[in-house]
Structure 1
């Protein structure tokens, strides 16, 4: 739905490492990178939208970023990878029927306190 989202982080190295590892199961990769104050651009397969991170001393507001997953297995893999990358649990993989019947998601808190989600809207197998 978006072209790109760019936000500042307190530790560029930690956030870059976290997002690369956490989003690897979703096929997200670096497409461009400059100095930390310019940042890094990450894009998923078959996507025109990108996520951009850059180093800042400002205290950014907390964000909720939801990444589309093609399967529930990708949501599970995102959750495991995000925790292994240093994320903190904010909701284990599972159905969230209060959103809709097939809303399968997992939530973690990233290095800067942002709520990071992977979600699959497809019915289970």
Structure 2
């Protein structure tokens, strides 16, 4: 396909601002690790920014570049893809253990699709984050 790139994602990356950089990076180390996502790029020696990913730096945690406090946006959330429902469950447990607030326990979400399984939490700065997996279609 003309113009296609090796990265299958439609997005380059997503960044969330934080007012507590060290704690936020530790939080995401823990919860994203449950999904096999690791630190991909660490710029914290130069600027307060760390990127996470599996093969690309797709998710960034950083202090706002303008020096003003980070804020959350109503109606905005970031969803992380999990390979299995067990990973969704592990993400949820890791997030709560790391200080996240529950916004919806793991389970099927048929209003998003019959195969949708996910959970929602608020991170340390109040950003809504999700882990989700697509279940295999029922056999029969």
User: In the TM superposition, what is the alpha-carbon distance from 1:49 to its structure 2 partner?
Assistant: 5.2
The structure having more radius of gyration, on CA atoms, is 2
- State the secondary structure of the residue aligned to 1:92: strand
1:52 and 2:65 matched: no
Distance 1:122 1:49 in 2: 26
Structure 2: which 5+ residue stretches go unaligned? 1-9
Gaps of at least 5 residues in structure 1 are none
Instruction: Confirm whether residue 95 of structure 1 aligns to residue 108 of structure 2.
Output: yes
Tell me, what secondary structure is at the counterpart of 1:90?
A: strand
Aligned equivalent of 2:127: 114
Partner of 1:15: 24
Pick one of 8, 11, 32 that aligns with 1:2. Answer: 11
Q: Secondary structure at the match of 1:26?
A: coil
Q: Normalising to structure 1: TM-score of the pair?
A: 0.88
Q: What value does the CA root-mean-square deviation take over the aligned residues?
A: 1.8
Match of 2:39 in 1: 30
CA shift at 1:5, angstroms? 1.0
**Equivalent residue pairs, number:** 123
Regions of 4+ moved over 3 Å:
none
Work out which structure has the larger RCO, using CA pairs closer than 8 Å and 6 or more positions apart in sequence: 1
1:75 corresponds to:
88
Residue 124 of structure 1: how far off its partner (Å): 7.2
**The residue matched to 2:104 in structure 1 has which SS?**
coil
